[in-house]
Structure 1
Amino acid sequence: MVAFSLAAYEAFLTGHDDTPIVMLNLLRFEPEGGRDRYLRYISMAKPILERFGARILFGGNGLPVLTEGEAQAWDAIVLVQYPRRSAFNDMVADPEYQKAFQVGSSAIADIVLQPFERDSHIN
């Protein structure tokens, strides 16, 4: 199930809108056909992402977790770069994206969406 935290989303949108952000997508698929539906979503979403100046930086399948403790394994990860926070917001509101989103959300059993901004001290 994909649902935004309204408070977190509003706080995200009030941040500086002059730098790119990278959205971390940690994905756990529905057992019955979730991965296939997600791949269909990706093919629908790619041209929409491009329209908003966004691009997929990395997508990959999860391997076994190497650390001990409470960590849970994820089926896949996708990193998407947006030119600005507002580009993400505009894309989410786009009617064509909303159609693709229905396919994507039907594929997801669990998801973490977390935006990141560049830290010049790290790279």
Structure 2
Amino acid sequence: MAVDPHEAILQELAPQSPGEPFVMLNLLRFAPDGRASYEEYSRRAAAFLRQYGGELLYAGDGDTPLVAAHGQAWDAVLLVRYPSREAFSRMVADPGYREITRLRTRALTEAVLQPTTPWSRRAG
């Protein structure tokens, strides 16, 4: 299962609306005893988030899904606002940030990182 974004995908992200703010949806499934590692990652990642202009908008535990196929429940959901895709790309390329991602990788069995675009910016 996927946990970390591949380099090729990250390279495709920045040119898409590079100067526009966006919100990243994070869906997380923890490994056994992975929550503590993720919490340590979150504490360390907060400094990088601030440095690159990001803001945690929401973090919460997943409950029983109302509409989902078997196995689609998530342990946690986060919404993180970034000032731009370029800022996000610079953050994940930062050597200090890359050093702490091992904590995130160890913590998770599966993840979804989905950049979102506000409907107010859609044509029509």
TM-score by structure 1 length? 0.88
CA RMSD of aligned residues (A): 1.9
**Greater displacement, 44-53 / 3-12:** 3-12
Report the counterpart of residue 25 of structure 1 in structure 2. Answer: 26
Q: Is the 8 A contact 1:65 1:71 kept in 2?
A: no
In 2, the alpha carbon distance for the partners of 1:79 and 1:48 equals 16
Structure-2 change in CA distance of 1:20 and 1:68 (3 Å):
closer
Q: Is the 8 A contact 1:56 1:78 kept in 2?
A: yes
* Identity rate, percent: 39
In 2, the alpha carbon distance for the partners of 1:69 and 1:111 equals 16
In 1, the alpha carbon distance for the partners of 2:19 and 2:37 equals 34
Matching of residue 14 in structure 1 with residue 11 in structure 2: no
1:91 offset after TM fit, Å?
0.4
TM-score by structure 2 length? 0.88
Gaps of 5+ in 1: none
In 2, the alpha carbon distance for the partners of 1:40 and 1:63 equals 23
Report the counterpart of residue 57 of structure 1 in structure 2. Answer: 57
Q: Is the 8 A contact 1:17 1:86 kept in 2?
A: yes
Gaps of 5+ in 2: none
In 2, the alpha carbon distance for the partners of 1:12 and 1:82 equals 13
The number of aligned residues is 121
